[in-house]
């Protein structure tokens, strides 16, 4: 058991503390210590509270949400690749490979129109 040399027991102020309660941190002397498998405590309330917490931790699920799914990941990746291919085909059919500046101007114009439409649809503009 260890505690700072200057600390005194919260129940017995004339005795120096030998430890601190693992749950609440109060300094306790050797007479007040309740030792369990979970550590040293100042009383049964703290010891039982720590034991209850340990039981909750032991039975808790590691993550309460969606679990990673490789199937969903690769399906999303395939959809994104398909959309990218469609976009590339449209750009190539419309402008060919030789004029990237014109393609970029068209793309910026389409994005501007999309954002303008979204702004009006959402009532922002």
Residue-level pLDDT at 4: 47
pTM higher than 0.95 for the full model?
no
Dihedral sign for Cα 19, 22, 25, 31, please. Answer: negative
pLDDT in tens, the chain (125 residues): 554 456 899 999 999 999 999 999 999 999 989 998 888 999 889 999 988 888 888 887 666 566 778 888 888 889 988 888 888 777 777 766 667 777 778 778 888 888 888 888 777 76
Residue-level pLDDT at 28: 93
**For residue 5, what are the β-bridge partners?**
none
Parse the chain into domains and list their residue ranges: 1-60, 70-121
Tokens of 14: 């004339």
């Amino acid at each position: 058991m260890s505690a700072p040399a200057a600390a005194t027991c919260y129940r017995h102020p004339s005795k120096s503390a030998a430890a601190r309660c693992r749950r609440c941190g109060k300094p306790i002397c050797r007479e007040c210590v309740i030792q369990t498998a979970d550590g040293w405590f100042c009383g049964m309330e703290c010891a039982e509270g720590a034991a209850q917490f340990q039981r909750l931790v032991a039975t808790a699920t590691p993550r309460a949400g969606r679990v990673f799914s490789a199937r969903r990941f690769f399906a999303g990746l395939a959809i994104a690749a398909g959309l990218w291919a469609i976009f590339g085909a449209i750009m190539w059919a419309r402008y060919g490979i030789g004029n990237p500046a014109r393609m970029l101007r068209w793309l910026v114009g389409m994005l501007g129109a999309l954002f303008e439409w979204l702004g009006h649809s959402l009532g922002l503009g």
